[in-house]
Structures are given as structure tokens and as C-alpha cells.
Structure 1
Amino acid sequence: MIEVTLLGTGSPIPDARRAGPSTLVRAGGQTFLVDCGRGVQQRLTAAGAGANGLTALLLTHLHSDHIADLGDVLITRWVTTFTPDAPPLPIIGPPGTAEVVDATLKAFGFDIGYRIAHHADLTAPPPVDVYEHTAGVVWDHDGVTISVAPTDHRPVAPTIGFRVEHAGASVVLAGDTVPCETLDQLAAGAGALVHTVIRKDLIEAMPMQRIRDICDYHSSVEEAAATATRAGVGILVLTHYVPSIEPGKEDDWRALAATAFDRQIELGDDLHRVEVHPGVCRRA
């Protein structure tokens, strides 16, 4: 079984009810954080996890709303890990990830120096191992395999999606993208597809051109549903709602997805959980 928890279902626009984009994936005793938008630490705690328990951090792309709390995750993992010689945190993302991680650690340089000076058991900066990929298998440990493929969020490039597989169960995390063949291939036959979505019908009516611009590089609810149908996935999990879903309007979003996808559709508030089983998919 693979457990998916929507830690943050929000967008770049601050929302009192929704943290920034982030998803927790638990599989085979391993814990993966996919993206780390604002407020991810609070949501991790609410989900019964923590930065010091992460197996790896997976980044779909380097847009600010998806990496806003990267520094917080790195520092918190460092100062709350008490085992000697703790292994570095693997960070897997597209090209450019290493530069962003290096810059983030540099930005926290004063803080890191203060803590090393104050705590005798902290003798070096937060340990990380960064891996940059655009395609292929990027993780294969203890029965859990992760593959990546390019997605299309241009002019943001490169961007990637992740496919997590364990004991016959599989989950694909698309990140921000428009429909594209490489995502279809990555998601083919998966138990679940976690896909970011926008309501183009609502956004196109807004007066600000800068807001309307997002329509050309995100998938609408219907487009994400069509991707899920082409790929033949079992469950479509919607997240990163733009604009935010108004309370009581969840069925409207679900109905739009149902016009293009006739299987299980999941959406909800932060901390919504979905279990994905081999051949059997059910809501947690």
C-alpha cells in the first residue's frame, strides 16, 4: 500500500486554510516529501511526520511556491536529528536543484554558524546529497522504486513528474504542467495520479492579466481528468487549487473532473489522505 497525504493544497496566493503545494508519500516504510511550499512543517507535524523522518525530498520544479520552505525543512531536519553521523538528506529534482540548495544553505549561513558555535554535537552544516534528473529511475531501495519524466510547465523548465512504486502499487505526482505525452507515459496504468489543477473558467474572468497568464501553463480540472483517462489510472487526486475551492463547492470541482474521468476522484482540504493498493484503491 502507498499512502498519499495532501499536506498543502494551496497556490502562490496566501490562503488561511491551505498551505503551499506539498504532498507526503509513504511507501514500504519510507517517507517522501514532494515539494515544500509554505507551511509544510506544520502540515508534516499534523500528519504525524517530521523533517527528521524524511527518506528523501522530491522537487517537481523550482517555482517559489513549491520550494518556499526548503530552508526550513533543511534546518529543522538538521537540528532535530540526534543520531550520530546521520546520513545526508537525498534531494531529487530537475537541473538547477543543486544551485538552489546551495543558495538556500548560504542564505542560512549565519544561522548555521550560530548553531555550530552553540552546540558541541553540531560540527558541520546540514548534510544533503542532491541529484538532478529529467528521466529514468532515480530511486531503488528496499522495494521502493521512483522514476521521473519531463513535464511541460514552460517557460519554467525543466520540470519533472515522479512515479513511486511499491509492491504492485503505484502513484504518479505530476506537479505543475499542461497535458503532455511524457506525463501520459509516466502515469500509464498507475494506481493514482496526483495532479495540480486550476479553474480556467474562473481565472479567465479575472481582471488582472498577471493572474490570467497562469492559464497557459497549468492544467484545468478537465485537462487533468483527461490525462488520467488517457493513462488509465485508478484514482485521480486533485491538488494545488487555483483559485482556492470555496467551502461547499467541492462537488462543483468533482463534477468538472467527472466530465472526463469516470473513476474515483479525490480532492479536499490539507491533510486529505488516500490509500493506493495494488489493484484495489480506496479512500483512507
Structure 2
Amino acid sequence: MKVTILGSGDAFGSGGRFNTCLRIEAGGERLLLDCGSSSMVALNQAGVARNGLSTLLFTHFHGDHFGGLAAFLVEAQFVSRRSEPLTIAGPIGVEHRARHALETDFPGASTNRWRFPISYVEVTPEAPTELAGVAIEAFPMVHDERAGPCQGYRLTQDGKTFAFSGDTAWTPALIPLAAGADALLVECYTWDKVLANHLDYRTLTAHRGELATPRIILTHMGPDMLAHDEKLPEARAHDGMVLAL
């Protein structure tokens, strides 16, 4: 499994980083995990052919994780002229949210006669599934239920597991999310300021011993976290970073 971090930024592009967007390559399949508002720029800059992506999987419905979907679909229709089926997956309500985003961003687009089949899959903690040849497990995170349910995911293929928190404050659900994973990509928005819906580095280090994974990468870093450039035991994500599992 190969994970390319096309976007490692927060909602506001702090540090000039793109919104969250991860390209997962597993065997012959390719999927995107989140597709934030700036993701079409990130995809173009990285030279990623959208028609080669079979699945878009979302952690929650905030713009910096979900806001690129409408442009992705309209570009597929009129520019890339996609014919391959596309799966759009995420928490409960993903189809309703997708249609609403289309109508908001491109009025009338929700009733397009798409030149490619679109299927919607709801992924929940109670119903693990398989997408693009990858086993997917969802875990409930603590972020903003108005944009949710908010979820983290474990992606497993050929004995390798990649875990991603999405956006969350500290929650005990991070423990099983990380358990035995080859790598955990975890949000770390602030250095030591405790927030109700985001994780800070001081809290993360306090719980480090509970996260049974050998490799932690910090992402979704805000200005406060980015200002701390000292060496840490954990890696810091950056746009274009590749994780080979």
C-alpha cells in the first residue's frame, strides 16, 4: 500500500498547504481519502489522473475534507469525460451531502445526466466494508457532529494497515484505530492549546503509550503547531509526502 499525502493542511491553508487529500494505491486500485476544497489544485499539481481513481472516501463533511467533491464530479463530466464507474463513500448521509454540495457549488448539477455511473456507500463503525480492494473499518471521532458523523478509518490490504484519524479531539477510539497499524496519520492542530474538536501535541504525547503503532505522522497542523519546528519523535506530514507500507 502506498499513501501520497497530496494535502496536509488545515482548513485555512496554514503554511501554504493544501486541504486534506490522500491518494491510496493498493494493488491496481486507487482511491482518494478526503478531497478538500483545494484538492483539484493539488491533484493537478501532482499530475494525478482523476479517471484512474475508482473511489472517494470521506471522513466528514467540512469543506477542507469534502469541499472538492463537486468540482471533482463536474470536471469528470465535462473535462476528463469520465466513463469509468465512481464510488463515493463516507459516513451516513453521504449521498444527501454530495447532492447538496453539487447544487450549492454548481446550481443544477445535481440533476446532471452523468456520463459515468455513480454509487454511494455509507461506511459506519457497525458495518466494515471493502472499497477499491481495501478493507475499511470506521471509528467514531470527536469533532463536529453538524459535519458528521465524523470518522477515522483503518485501511488494510495484503497485511498492511494505514490508520487516519480525520479531525478529532482526543478520544479513546483513537486507541483501537491505531492498534497494530503500520502507520497512523493523526491530526495535530495546536501545540498545547486544548480545543473541544481538535487534537493538540501535548495531549497526544500524554497518550502516546496507548497508541500501539510504530509510526505516527502529524497532519492538519495550524499556525501554532507549525511554529514549533524542533525535532520530534513523530514525523510531520507535508504536501507530496509518500508513505510506503
Q: How far is the alpha carbon of 1:200 from its aligned partner?
A: 4.3
Task: Spell out, residue by residue over 1:212-257, the C-alpha distance to the aligned partner (whole angstroms, 9 max, x if none).
Answer: xx8121111233455554131121111111126658x53x2x53xx
Distance of 1:218 and 1:34 partners within structure 2: 19
Map of 2:198 onto structure 1: 218
Map of 1:269 onto structure 2: 238
Q: Is residue 179 from structure 1 mapped to residue 170 from structure 2 by the alignment?
A: yes
Q: Is residue 139 from structure 1 mapped to residue 130 from structure 2 by the alignment?
A: yes
Map of 1:92 onto structure 2: 89
Sequence identity percentage:
27
Q: What's the TM-score, normalizing by structure 2?
A: 0.85
Task: Spell out, residue by residue over 1:192-224, the C-alpha distance to the aligned partner (whole angstroms, 9 max, x if none).
Answer: 0011111243xx5xxxxxxxxx81211112334
CA contact (8 A) 2:34 2:65 kept: yes
Map of 1:128 onto structure 2: 118
Distance of 1:224 and 1:30 partners within structure 2: 33
Q: What secondary structure sits across from 1:184 in the alignment? A: helix
CA contact (8 A) 1:151 1:177 kept: yes
Distance of 1:161 and 1:11 partners within structure 2: 16
Map of 2:154 onto structure 1: 163
User: Please, which moves more after superposition, 39-48 or 91-100?
Assistant: 39-48
Superposed counterparts of 1:95-114, under 5 Å: 95-107=92-104, 108-110=106-108
Size of the alignment, in residue pairs?
A: 242
Q: Which amino acid in 2 is paired with 1:91?
A: I
CA contact (8 A) 1:225 1:236 kept: no
Distance of 2:73 and 2:107 partners within structure 1: 12
Q: What secondary structure sits across from 1:158 in the alignment? A: coil
Task: Spell out, residue by residue over 1:109-146, the C-alpha distance to the aligned partner (whole angstroms, 9 max, x if none).
Answer: 44688xx8xxxxxx53664212223213121554x212
Distance of 1:134 and 1:243 partners within structure 2: 32
Q: What secondary structure sits across from 1:23 in the alignment? A: strand
Q: How far is the alpha carbon of 1:186 from its aligned partner?
A: 2.4
Q: What secondary structure sits across from 2:149 in the alignment? A: strand
CA contact (8 A) 1:169 1:191 kept: yes
Q: Is residue 149 from structure 1 mapped to residue 139 from structure 2 by the alignment?
A: yes
Q: How far is the alpha carbon of 1:168 from its aligned partner?
A: 1.3
Q: What secondary structure sits across from 1:78 in the alignment? A: helix
CA contact (8 A) 1:112 1:125 kept: no
Change (3 A) 1:229 1:57: farther
1:243 to 216, 220, 223: 223
Q: What secondary structure sits across from 2:61 in the alignment? A: coil
CA contact (8 A) 1:51 1:76 kept: no
Change (3 A) 1:238 1:181: same
Distance of 2:128 and 2:28 partners within structure 1: 19
Q: How far is the alpha carbon of 1:76 from its aligned partner?
A: 1.9
Q: Structure 2 unaligned runs (5+)? A: none
- In our comparison, the structure showing a higher alpha carbon Rg is 1
Q: What's the TM-score, normalizing by structure 1?
A: 0.75
Q: Which amino acid in 2 is paired with 1:49?
A: V
Distance of 2:176 and 2:65 partners within structure 1: 24
